[in-house]
Amino acid sequence: MGTGLVIAGVVALIGGVIYAGWLSEKKRREALQAAAMALGFNYTQEGDWSAYAGLPLFERGHGRRVRNVLQGTTAGHAVTVMDYQYTIGSGKNSQTHSQTVAVFPGSGQGLPDFELGPENFLHKIGQVFGYQDIDFEDDPEFSKRFLLRGEDEARIREVFNATVRAAAANFDDWSVQCRGGRIATFRSGNRCPPEEIPSFLANGLRVVSALQPTARGSS
């Protein structure tokens, strides 16, 4: 009898956790739908991650999934905002990463492909073994805080002039990726609260706007 009660209690606890998670996601969907309406954007509950293939974030891990997709135009830039998750590893060693991502599909035209993100201790170790990090001798603070990578190093150095580096310095926990003219901005492992979507978009636009003069300069 005692064992049966324990099992029933465990089942009830698991069921409660699952229901709480479902309810939380339902509330998030509804809040994001409202945010989309307020912005004049379209909302879709499920998206196709392969539409963003090529951007490094969308090629990590497995179990990739895009949800809560908001699409529209802001300050003249087409943009898609979404919740994106992927899993690394398997079984007990698996880790699922979730973040809100803004993809500006045409705002990176004229820019080289690059990845910019916060630099951590593992990156510094990797550099000893040849892991690329583009540093600037005249800006040691930027070089210390950010990992910057890409094949066309000369062009990337042109793009990341003092003005762009100064703009990036205000968003040291953000990552920016550019591939084939598309720009993605996100904070790794961070899902944006629905009420903060306008400020999330505004921050992405600041990054895009800082890069625009250097993009035009290449044409």
Q: Which domain holds residue 41?
A: 2-216
Handedness of CA 209, 210, 216, 218 (dihedral sign): negative
- Can you list the alpha helix ranges (DSSP code H) found in 74-173? 121-128, 140-145, 153-159, 162-168
pLDDT in tens, the chain (219 residues): 566 665 655 555 555 545 455 477 999 999 999 999 999 999 999 999 999 999 999 999 999 999 999 999 999 999 999 999 999 998 888 999 999 999 999 999 999 999 999 975 444 444 443 446 899 999 999 988 999 999 999 999 999 999 899 888 887 789 999 999 999 999 988 999 999 999 999 999 988 988 877 655 544
Quick one: tokens of 81? 């905002």
* Domains in the chain, number: 1
DSSP 22-81: HHHHHHHHHHHHHHHHHHT-EEEEEE-GGGGTTSGGGGSSEEEEEEEEEEEEETTEEEEE
Distance of CA 147 to the CA centre of its chain: 15
Round to whole Å and give the CA distance between 19 and 12. Answer: 10
The end-to-end CA distance of the chain, in Å, is: 78
Give backbone dihedrals phi and psi of 103, rounded to 5 degrees, phi first: -115, 125
Q: Which residues pair with 103 in a beta bridge?
A: 80, 184
Residue 172: DSSP 8-state: T
Q: What angle do CA 193, 204, 133 make, to 5 degrees?
A: 110
Residue pair 117/185 in contact by the 8 Å Cβ criterion: no
Round to whole Å and give the CA distance between 211 and 183. Answer: 10
